[in-house]
């Protein structure tokens, strides 16, 4: 049984991913979460796995992988993903777990000063055997491919121990007072992009502002290639019902200054950065 066949056998939806990227390759007007692989052509190369009945603990740094090895329940369904985001030796790991129906989970495990992505309903991951943009392939470790052998993620798992400062999306945005480190970059960038969209900032301006945020606050910053690939997914993320409540109290932070010099228009955002 191939990983793709396993997902289909257990009615875990999959959908095609664009070659050399992590973005959905579905028809315009179709959301990846609504792709019905029983009615449409099944992916033949890279594919995404729609989470919900399964969740994934996603570690992409040496420190988070080491922590997960010690503290996250073992599971036989483990997939080597792409290179560590820091560029160091090693690869990230996706750890799959079953969950009860209609479960509600936080987006991150925040313990011992680390942010570890907890991917759940409303999200997707690249499936095993899919090519990663780096050229690597998502490799699943050998296991039984029996659904019941995947453990349920424990309902009493401690997600936060207070060691990581968190700025909630619903609060007014405040720029970071300390460098945004590797374990927290994706979370802070996502929070920033969603704030921009909630305040109806133009997409092109939001992209420019996000690039400034990445270079100014993230240490080290995400690569230009990663940021370009990720931004569209963050911007297009399906909105929560309370999305428009997540706004900046001071909208003057988005005053746009346009400097014309030698026919080159430079755009920057005052206050927000």
* 209-250 confidence digits (pLDDT tens): 899 999 988 888 988 988 998 898 888 876 655 444 443 333
Which string of DSSP letters, residue by residue, matches 198-211? HTT--HHHHHHHHH
Q: How far is CA 30 from the centre of its chain?
A: 20
Tens digit of each residue's pLDDT (9 = 90 or more) over 23-36: 888 887 788 888 76
Q: State the first-to-last Cα distance of the chain, in angstroms, to the nearest integer.
A: 50
At which residue do the structure tokens 């990227």 appear? 21
The pLDDT assigned to 78 comes to 97
The pLDDT assigned to 240 comes to 56
Whether the pLDDT of residue 170 is over 50: the answer is no
Number of H helices, E strands in the chain: 5, 11
| Cα-based angle 188, 191, 197 (whole degrees, multiple of 5) | 140
Q: What is the pTM assigned to this prediction?
A: 0.67
């Amino acid at each position: 049984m191939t990983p793709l066949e396993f997902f289909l056998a257990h009615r875990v939806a999959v959908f095609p991913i664009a070659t050399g990227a992590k973005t959905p390759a579905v028809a315009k007007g179709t959301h990846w979460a609504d792709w019905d692989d029983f009615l449409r052509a099944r992916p033949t190369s890279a594919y995404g796995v729609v989470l919900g009945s399964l969740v994934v603990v996603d570690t992409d740094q040496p420190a988070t992988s080491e922590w997960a090895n010690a503290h996250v329940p073992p599971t036989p369904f483990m997939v080597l993903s792409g290179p560590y985001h820091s560029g160091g030796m090693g690869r990230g790991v996706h750890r799959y777990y079953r969950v009860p129906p209609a479960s509600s989970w936080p987006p991150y495990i925040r313990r011992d000063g680390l942010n570890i992505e907890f991917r759940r309903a409303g999200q997707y991951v690249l499936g095993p055997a899919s090519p990663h943009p780096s050229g690597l392939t998502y490799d699943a470790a050998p296991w039984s491919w029996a659904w019941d052998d995947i453990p349920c993620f424990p309902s009493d798992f401690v997600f936060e121990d207070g060691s990581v400062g968190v700025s909630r999306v619903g609060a007014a945005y405040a720029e970071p007072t300390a460098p945004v480190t590797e374990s927290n970059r994706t979370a802070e960038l996502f929070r920033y992009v969603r704030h921009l969209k909630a305040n109806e900032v133009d997409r092109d301006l939001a992209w420019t502002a996000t690039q400034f945020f990445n270079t100014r606050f993230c240490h080290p910053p995400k690569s230009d290639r990663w940021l370009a690939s990720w931004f569209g997914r963050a911007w297009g993320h399906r909105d929560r019902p309370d999305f428009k409540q997540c706004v900046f109290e001071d909208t003057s932070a988005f005053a746009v200054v346009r400097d014309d010099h030698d026919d080159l228009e430079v755009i920057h955002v005052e206050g927000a950065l």
